[in-house]
Chain A
Amino acid sequence: EDQVTQSPEALRLQEGESSSLNCSYTVSGLRGLFWYRQDPGKGPEFLFTLYSAGEEKEKERLKATLTKKESFLHITAPKPEDSATYLCAVQGTGRQLTFGSGTQLTVLP
C-alpha cells in the first residue's frame, strides 16, 4: 500500500526566513510525486510534478526536489501570501493519488 508522511505538521516562519517541508513516501513503482497548495476553504492547487530521483522544479520562491524516498519543498524568503497547507501526493502503479496530511505553513509579517 502506498504511503505518504509529511513533516512538520505545522510550521511558522518569519517573512524572509527560508525553510523546507518534507514528504517521505513508500510506493510501488513511482509514476509521479505531486505537490499541491491548499488555501482555507478552497481546493488543492497544483504546484509541481516530479517523476524521477534527482529531478528539481522551481516556481517563484518554491523549489521541489526528489530522492528515491522523499521529496522536499524548499521555500526561499517566504512572504505572508505563501501561508497555506502544502500537500504531497504520490502516484504508483495503482494510478490513483495517495496524499499526505499536509504541512500547514504560516508566514508572519
Chain B
Amino acid sequence: DTAVSQTPKYLVTQMGNDKSIKCEQNLGHDTMYWYKQDSKKFLKIMFSYNNKELIINETVPNRFSPKSPDKAHLNLHINSLELGDSAVYFCASSLVLGGTTDTQYFGPGTRLTVL
C-alpha cells in the first residue's frame, strides 16, 4: 500500500557514469516532483510534471533529464555523474499543482553517492 515509492534506495557509482532513479505513485495524483536534499538538509525543487507535461524546471544542469511515461511514474536520468551530484533525491506527488489541495507526499528517498 506504498503511496510514493522510489528505487533504488541507495546508489553508489563512479564519476562519469549514467544512472537512473525510478519513482511511482499509486495515489492517483496528477503532479509529480523531483527534489534534491543536500548535506545541510535543504530540500530544493528540481522538476515538476503535471499529467506528463513538464511544468517546473529549476536551474538544473542538463545532465539531469526527467521522463514521465505516464502520470503515475516520473523517472530521473542523470548523465556523466559528478561528485557534486551526491545527495538524497526525493520524489513527491500532489493531487493538483497550485490548487488548494496540492499537499505534496514524499517518497523514501534515494541516496546517491558519486565516487
Interface set of A (CB-CB < 8 Å, partner B): 31-32, 34, 36, 41-46, 49, 51, 85, 87, 89, 91, 95-97, 99-102
Cβ B108 vs Cβ A95 within 8 A:
no
The residues in B between 46 and 72 inclusive whose CB is less than 8 angstroms from any CB of A are 48, 56, 58
CB < 8 Å neighbour of B103 from A46, A96, A99, A101: A46
| A43 touching B109, Cβ below 8 Å | yes
Q: Other than the known A46-B105, A91-B102, what 7 A-B pairs have Cβ atoms closer than 8 Å? A: A34-B103, A43-B4, A51-B100, A85-B41, A95-B102, A99-B44, A101-B40
Nearest-Cβ distance from residue B109 to partner chain A, whole angstroms: 5
Q: How far is the CA of A89 from the CA of B94 in the complex (A)?
A: 15
A87 touches which of B43, B45, B58 (Cβ 8 Å): B43
Which residues of B approach A to under 8 Å, CB–CB? 4, 40-45, 48, 56, 58, 90, 92, 97-98, 100, 102-109
Query: CB distance A101 to B104 under 8 Å?
Result: no
- Chain B, residue nearest A94 (CB): B56
Per a CB cutoff under 8 Å, which of A42, A85, A96, A102 touches B56? Answer: A96
| Total A-B residue contacts, Cβ distance less than 8 Å | 49
Q: Check if B109 sits within 8 Å of A97, measured CB to CB.
A: no
Task: Assess the A43–B42 pair: CB atoms within 8 A.
Answer: no
Q: Tell me the minimal C-beta distance from B38 to chain A in angstroms.
A: 9
Knowing A31-B98, A44-B90, A96-B48, say if A101 contacts B106 (CB, 8 Å). no
Residue in contact with A99 in the complex, picked from B42, B105, B108, CB distance below 8 Å: B42
Choose among A34, A95, A100 the residue with the greatest number of B CB atoms under 10 Å from its CB.
A95
A49-B104 Cα distance, complex, nearest whole Å: 10
Q: Which of B44, B97, B100, B106 meets A95, CB within 8 Å?
A: B97
